[in-house]
A and B are shown apart, each in its own frame.
Chain A
């Protein structure tokens, strides 16, 4: 408990007034008194100087560009199927229960190679050799879906439909760099992380939910998500370009591993699209 009792309930001011003074927003009725208080009280002047120094430090460590870059990446959409207008609402309903659900999943299914239905491992972690010591980099990617008021974690091969809202999360074994993409049944590659101007550094040993939801579009057959990891920095844009160039024709067969340069680790998870019904049914080429 703080020991500094407030000196008075009526005649004094708190740090709040100093903050307001610094911002030039002391309320009209209090301006003169706050000014007089500052003139008379050396302690208040010292506190004001501390706040000014704190302001300078904060803005030098985290300048406005830091915030604007983060905001731009958080608020914009990658593709129209991510609805920007209600990101916050979605985040609110998805982030917390999904984190809780995912925590349970991680407790019972620790991160690591995920067995496929045929018993094989989807992707083996690559041992990265670089610097002074070898580092094992591995991770897992999870997809969460809102069902009514509940969140469910979708295992590999789950069936999903257009319009459903999903949220992605990842866990990696150590700090690294990465990106998350998906490839749909039409062969369209979508980058989910990082968004434009967003750094692609990932924090290790921590479950992280992407702060935006994804609404599935009408692409047919499947949506395959990839978590791509590297121990060092790389250009997400250049890697995305390379993936698009090397992507084989999507012809209905399961997608192979991505053809990535050496040193990258990839984890994948496929969601199977429910067939469309009625007049909106897609043909074999995925056209509605």
Chain B
């Protein structure tokens, strides 16, 4: 089985892409949107975006691109869903509970709330890959090109930040 495909800059064959990556996109959308119908709609939307940009895009790793597109699309949908409550959707987090990072439910809720923020930072990208997509550190390193220590640092910073937020929230909740 081939283990790497580097694509040239020729126009994307959307049909071929769908046959190769469509099921993966569908699974990812099902996992995040928790609905087969919504996932099928999402597949169409994601491939429509690809279709409209097929002549201008240069894709080296189509699988990574489509995985990111699927994740981003689903996050947008979740952000738009007014009924979405982070505290009730913790099953979206693949790498929870991970005890050294996540001590309690409040932390998990804060992580999910952080992931749902529309942010473009490197920290946010790492958090999405780790907590939402369930990638390991090694996979994140390979996927993002970041050094391993940077990936750890992002997770550690996030942990500290969310711990402090958690403490603050507890403190506020305890004030009568």
Contact = CB atoms under 8 A, between A and B. Distances in A.
Partners in one complex: yes
B51 A75 contact: yes
Contacts of A26: 3-4
Given A16-B139, A19-B63, A25-B62, A64 B108 contact: no
Interface in A33-62: 34-35, 51, 54-55, 58-59, 62
A15 interface: yes
A83 interface: no
B92 to A, nearest CB: 9
B72 to A, nearest CB: 13
A159 to B, nearest CB: 32
Interface in B87-143: 90-91, 93-99, 105, 108, 133-139, 142-143
Nearest to B100: A9
B96 A67 contact: no
Given A24-B4, A25-B5, A55 B47 contact: no
Contacts of B49: 88
Interface string B10-27: 000011001111111011
A9 B93 contact: no
Identify whether the interface residues of A are mostly helix, strand, loop, or mixed: helix
Given A6-B134, A6-B136, A23 B47 contact: no
A260 interface: no
A21 B2 CA distance: 8
A21 to B, nearest CB: 7
Contacts of A58: 22-23, 26-27
A71 B15 CA distance: 10
A15 B31 CA distance: 12
Given A19-B24, A70-B44, A25 B61 contact: yes
Contacts of B99: 5
Nearest to B95: A6
Which of A19, A24, A88, A96 has most chain B Cβ within 10 Å?
A19
Contact of A10 (B14, B23, B136): B136
B91 A24 contact: no
A12 B22 contact: no
Contacts of A28: 4
Contacts of B91: 1-2
A59 B47 CA distance: 15
A74 interface: yes
Given A10-B138, A88-B49, A31 B4 contact: yes
A212 to B, nearest CB: 11
A201 B14 CA distance: 25
A81 B157 CA distance: 51
A135 to B, nearest CB: 23
B64 A17 contact: no
Interface of B: 1-5, 14-15, 18-24, 26-27, 40, 43-44, 47-49, 51-52, 61-64, 67, 80, 90-91, 93-99, 105, 108, 133-139, 142-143
15 contacts: A2-B96, A6-B136, A10-B138, A16-B67, A21-B1, A23-B21, A24-B5, A26-B3, A30-B138, A31-B4, A54-B27, A58-B26, A59-B22, A62-B22, A68-B14
Given A2-B94, A5-B99, A62-B22, 14 more contacts: A1-B97, A8-B136, A10-B136, A16-B134, A16-B143, A19-B24, A23-B20, A24-B2, A24-B3, A28-B4, A58-B26, A75-B52, A88-B48, A88-B49
